[in-house]
Structure 1
């Protein structure tokens, strides 16, 4: 008789919320205004703040999930704020936490900071100049030291272990890496080098802001069905992981038996099965990268004048993960949900998803 499928765990992943400033005199449920120079260059798109439609849709999805499921965890993979201002952290914390929120509703997750990490925007000094140290808002709302380890025991007694790291830990406040949005975090991995070998019934998940794939367009690996390759050239790209940190990350994934990497940063959802190597050994793993969940994903109409017609923002996304016992195997399932014009997150991609296209869902066998 076949073994019935069983869902053992559910996890909601949101990222790049980019809570911005609500100007004085405006409704507390308003969207953050777009930067003054937004029309000049696509580089300014990353400085957009939240929009009310995205915040409301996330609250609606979270509420529907609570009604449907007995329980689920949530992880925030960085860039809670648009530029690290104290007021932006306060706005985000009240919405994600127990409230009361300026929006009039909140997720009510008092533990959000325990399962959330900062991103590069959260390290900014409260304005869009990028350089300079973080404001007091970061320490107030995300005070936990990094790296940190958290564990969940699943109903079948499997241990699910989350490893949270700060991918900006080794980025100077006055450096090219800060301006280019590049991640550097070798000291975080060095701090976890003493992690013991993985247990017999243990799954390890690495939670980080910067994406392993980064700005490089992945291509299918002809020698490994279902796996994609990352080709890193000699030039330094914006938004990517610095070379030495990337090298250590590959060793770390193999040495510490990482099965899943949860990331954000690129504002484009992407589910990729990858291969890491430490030299003699390799390991297949899944990177589940979330796009921006509540950052403005449509330009204000006043800003569209003079913009090329092809310039557009990516739709907001969130990821829903499950660990399922399927025919005797443990399987990690990830599903992308896109924000539709009707104002709800749905597991149906827009008709024209700009490249790089991503599968809407993936199943990755853990054991």
Structure 2
């Protein structure tokens, strides 16, 4: 039997879409104007915001993970907020670091209690700066709450054998203009970030595993939600040149693990889906114009990534969890692939 040693655990969450709290439900409060859009136009589904059940289920999952004595890091691949409002982002920070009251003033406190263990990058919604639609947004409030300019890298040791994990974090909306077609259709554009990283990164070391942490998904097809063509070409060159082994992303609200080839370079893309945004048709829609059957909301999801030393070989194992009435539960057998 091969001998496995756990080297790292990464809890991958994404697209929380935390909004201002409705004090009667703990869900994201929805204005009449947004509700009209939700009732009639699918493009408004990204404004649903979080639901209290999702926040609670995620907090319970983190508590259970902590109770198993695993050393874990939490990675958030964007869209922490519904529309980038400073209050929403501050609420997300409190939820990550300690807890928030989802039923004020009665006191129903929910949170991850993970101060210092959360690595977060912005998504396209985090650039809206509080405007309830993407067009016309001013510069992002994101960095005022999370204080880490991007792009950036950080290294985490993998055991005592000299291996290290390098997380390469970037902002995939960095080159998207406020009033552009890219903003309207939630497309990524970030060649400037790749150019900065080209100057920052040294050649990969023999025992280094490189992981790209990004909001947009490289493998997504179609126009809406995709990466701009020129940026996609630059990204593939970057993946190959800098020997990226894994891409961690979100944005599509669909949890999936896909193999991608950038030239001859194989890398695996892990998209966490949407972890706490509404994943079922709210009851109030049943008396509106839009038919609930036409709403295609994926289930809340998250991923748990583990890196193992298997007799001297590094293996990456990804387990996908979907939320049910009983909380987040494993849905598929783990996906496993060798890193080196």
Same fold (TM over 0.5): yes
* Match of residue 152, structure 1, among 153, 156, 162: 156
Q: Could you say which residue in structure 2 is the equivalent of 1:234?
A: none
1:1-367 equivalences in 2 (<5 Å): 2-23=1-22, 26-27=23-24, 30-34=26-30, 35-37=34-36, 38-99=38-99, 104-111=109-116, 115-134=119-138, 137-155=141-159, 156-194=161-199, 195-216=201-222, 237-277=223-263, 282-305=264-287, 306=289, 307-340=291-324, 342-348=325-331, 361-367=334-340
Cα deviations across residues 273-301 of structure 1 (Å, max 9, x unaligned)? 11012xxxx10010000111001111211
Q: What SS does the corresponding residue of 1:36 show, helix, strand or coil?
A: helix
**Native 8 Å contact 2:253 2:298 kept in 1:** yes
Q: What SS does the corresponding residue of 1:298 show, helix, strand or coil?
A: coil
**Native 8 Å contact 1:273 1:287 kept in 2:** yes
Relative to its length, the structure with more helix (as a share) is 2
* Residue 140 to residue 15, structure 1, CA distance change in 2 (3 Å): same
- Once residues 152 and 117 of structure 2 are traced to their aligned partners in structure 1, the CA distance between those partners, rounded to angstroms, is 14
Q: What SS does the corresponding residue of 2:109 show, helix, strand or coil?
A: coil
**Native 8 Å contact 2:285 2:292 kept in 1:** no
Q: Which moved more, 1:136-145 or 1:166-175?
A: 136-145
Tell me how many residue pairs correspond in the alignment: 327
Q: Cα RMSD between the aligned structures?
A: 1.8
**Native 8 Å contact 1:339 1:346 kept in 2:** yes
- Once residues 104 and 150 of structure 1 are traced to their aligned partners in structure 2, the CA distance between those partners, rounded to angstroms, is 32
1:192: how far off? 1.1
- Once residues 181 and 310 of structure 1 are traced to their aligned partners in structure 2, the CA distance between those partners, rounded to angstroms, is 21
Cα deviations across residues 334-354 of structure 1 (Å, max 9, x unaligned)? 1110001x14000126xxxxx
Q: What SS does the corresponding residue of 1:149 show, helix, strand or coil?
A: strand
**Native 8 Å contact 1:98 1:109 kept in 2:** yes
- Once residues 330 and 269 of structure 2 are traced to their aligned partners in structure 1, the CA distance between those partners, rounded to angstroms, is 19
**Native 8 Å contact 1:171 1:178 kept in 2:** yes
Q: TM-score, normalised by structure 1?
A: 0.85
**Native 8 Å contact 1:84 1:135 kept in 2:** no
Q: What SS does the corresponding residue of 1:214 show, helix, strand or coil?
A: coil
**Native 8 Å contact 2:172 2:188 kept in 1:** yes
1:327: how far off? 4.1
Q: Could you say which residue in structure 1 is the equivalent of 2:105?
A: none
The runs of 5 or more residues in structure 1 that have no matched partner are: 217-236, 350-359
**Native 8 Å contact 2:18 2:50 kept in 1:** yes
Q: Could you say which residue in structure 2 is the equivalent of 1:223?
A: none
1:328: how far off? 3.5
* Residue 55 to residue 276, structure 1, CA distance change in 2 (3 Å): same
Q: TM-score, normalised by structure 2?
A: 0.91
- Once residues 334 and 138 of structure 2 are traced to their aligned partners in structure 1, the CA distance between those partners, rounded to angstroms, is 36
- Once residues 3 and 112 of structure 1 are traced to their aligned partners in structure 2, the CA distance between those partners, rounded to angstroms, is 31
